[in-house]
């Protein structure tokens, strides 16, 4: 039995009952093997291990078909919808999405919608507001034996299918911050890893805040998928205050 073999090998059981839990099925020739359906989801979970891949409670119900998304600038929503429609190809090709503009215009909501869809399709996603991400990186410098190291964390963040950074530019500028952002964005750039970012800053202001080299790489990753969102702060509108 496949389940008994998985137990004997120390693997979790194959959810399809086809392999011994290791992700490969031995062919009839007894030499070659075929990839099992369970392998890719298993690898995705492993890649996401150690990073935050949870959609915050506030955004778990986001959908293109209801508020607050239906209240966001339609042209911006359409760009995001098209990106999600081509999600598999976008992630395969390492294409990103850049949402910028005023406070309370729906940038985070749309970014969470992208991450939610990626997770639903079985991709690995790391989701962080930038200040929290920097705090996570700082914590690795005090890591003890057996705890997550700086190298481990950067590897996790670099290898997930989608890296989601919220509030890019919302941090005090220091040489250390500039270095960490460059290292992370450059790793994603070189590995052709997709990134979705939100920021309240214009491109010029972002270059001053995080550096021209880092922004240049983001521009190449995101290409034409730069979504401007401007207008009133929807959080100040009573009917939307709890949604955006």
Q: Dump pLDDT digits (tens) for 39-97.
A: 777 666 555 555 666 788 888 888 999 999 999 999 999 999 999 999 999 999 999 99
pLDDT at 233: 57
Least confident span in 6-15, 50-59, 213-222? 6-15
Are residues 69 and 9 both part of a single domain?
A: no
Six token digits for residue 221 = 């990753």
Comparing 6-10, 61-65, 124-128, 175-179, which segment has the lowest mean pLDDT? 6-10
- What percent of the chain lies above the pLDDT cut of 70? 84
Same domain, 80 and 183: yes
In a domain, 241, yes or no: no
Domain that holds residue 9: 2-37
pLDDT above 90 coverage of the chain, percent: 52
110 with 203, same domain: the answer is: yes
Q: Are residues 119 and 143 in the same domain?
A: yes
Three-class SS of residue 194? strand
- Judge whether 23 lies within some domain: yes
Looking at the predicted structure, is the pLDDT value of residue 22 above 90?
no
Which CATH number covers residue 226? 3.40.50.300
Dihedral sign computed on CA atoms, order 172, 210, 155, 23:
positive
Residue 192 and residue 84 share a domain: yes
pLDDT tier for residue 241 given thresholds of 50, 70 and 90: very low
Q: How many domains does the chain have?
A: 2
Q: Please tell me whether residues 30 and 125 are part of one structural domain.
A: no
Structural domain includes residue 43 = no
- pLDDT of residue 18 exceeding 90, the answer is no
Angle at alpha carbon of residue 229, lines to 72 and 217, rounded to 5°: 130
Averaged pLDDT of the chain: 84
Residue 126 lies in a domain: yes
Q: Look at residue 196 and tell me whether its pLDDT is greater than 70.
A: yes
Considering the domain architecture, whether residues 33 and 101 belong to the same structural domain is answered as no
Are 15 and 97 within one domain? no
Do residues 6 and 86 both lie within one domain? no
Spatial distance between the Cα atoms of 109 and 196, rounded to a whole number of angstroms: 12
pLDDT at position 7 over 90: no
CA pair distance 201, 214, nearest whole angstrom: 14
Instruction: Provide the token pair at 85.
Output: 């429609």
Please report the pLDDT score of residue 234 as a whole number: 60
pTM over 0.85: no
What pLDDT score does 36 carry? 86
Residues 32 and 83 in one domain: no
Domain-located, residue 208: yes
Q: What pLDDT shows up at residue 238?
A: 56
Confidence check: pLDDT of 15 > 60 = yes
Strands 226-229 and 194-199: what pairing?
Answer: unpaired
Highest mean pLDDT out of 6-20, 176-190, 226-240: 176-190
Residue 6 has pLDDT above 80, yes or no: no
pLDDT (tens digit per residue) in 153-163: 999 999 999 99
Do residue 104 and residue 185 come from a single domain?
yes
The answer to whether residue 244 sits within a structural domain is no
Q: 53 or 168, which is more confident?
A: 168
Give the whole-angstrom CA distance, residue 227 versus residue 78.
10
| Inside any domain, residue 196 | yes
* pLDDT in the model for residue 222: 93
Do residues 14 and 77 share a domain?
Answer: no
Residue 65: predicted pLDDT: 93
- Does residue 54 fall inside a structural domain? yes
Please tell me the predicted confidence (pLDDT) of residue 129.
93
């Amino acid at each position: 039995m496949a389940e008994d073999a998985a137990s004997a090998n120390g693997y979790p059981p194959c959810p399809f009952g086809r392999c011994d839990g290791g992700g490969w099925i031995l062919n009839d020739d007894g030499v070659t093997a075929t990839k099992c359906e369970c392998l890719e989801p298993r690898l995705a979970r492993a890649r996401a291990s150690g990073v935050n891949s949870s959609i915050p409670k506030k955004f778990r119900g986001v959908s293109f078909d209801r508020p607050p998304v239906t209240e966001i600038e339609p042209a911006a929503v359409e760009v995001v919808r098209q990106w999600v429609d081509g999600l598999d190809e976008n992630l395969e090709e390492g294409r990103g999405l850049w949402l910028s503009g005023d406070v309370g215009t729906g940038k985070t909501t749309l970014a969470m919608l992208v991450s939610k869809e990626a997770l639903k399709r079985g991709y690995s996603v790391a989701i962080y507001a930038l200040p929290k991400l920097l705090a996570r990186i700082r914590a690795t410098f005090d890591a003890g034996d057996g705890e997550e190291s700086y190298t481990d964390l950067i590897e996790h963040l670099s290898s997930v299918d989608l890296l989601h950074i919220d509030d890019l530019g919302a941090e005090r500028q220091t040489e250390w911050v500039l270095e960490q952002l460059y290292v992370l964005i450059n790793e994603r750039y070189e590995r052709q890893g997709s990134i979705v970012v939100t920021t309240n800053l214009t491109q010029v202001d972002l270059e001053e805040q995080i550096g021209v080299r880092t922004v240049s790489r983001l521009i190449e990753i995101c290409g034409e998928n730069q979504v401007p969102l401007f207008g009133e702060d929807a959080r100040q509108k009573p009917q939307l205050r709890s949604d955006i």
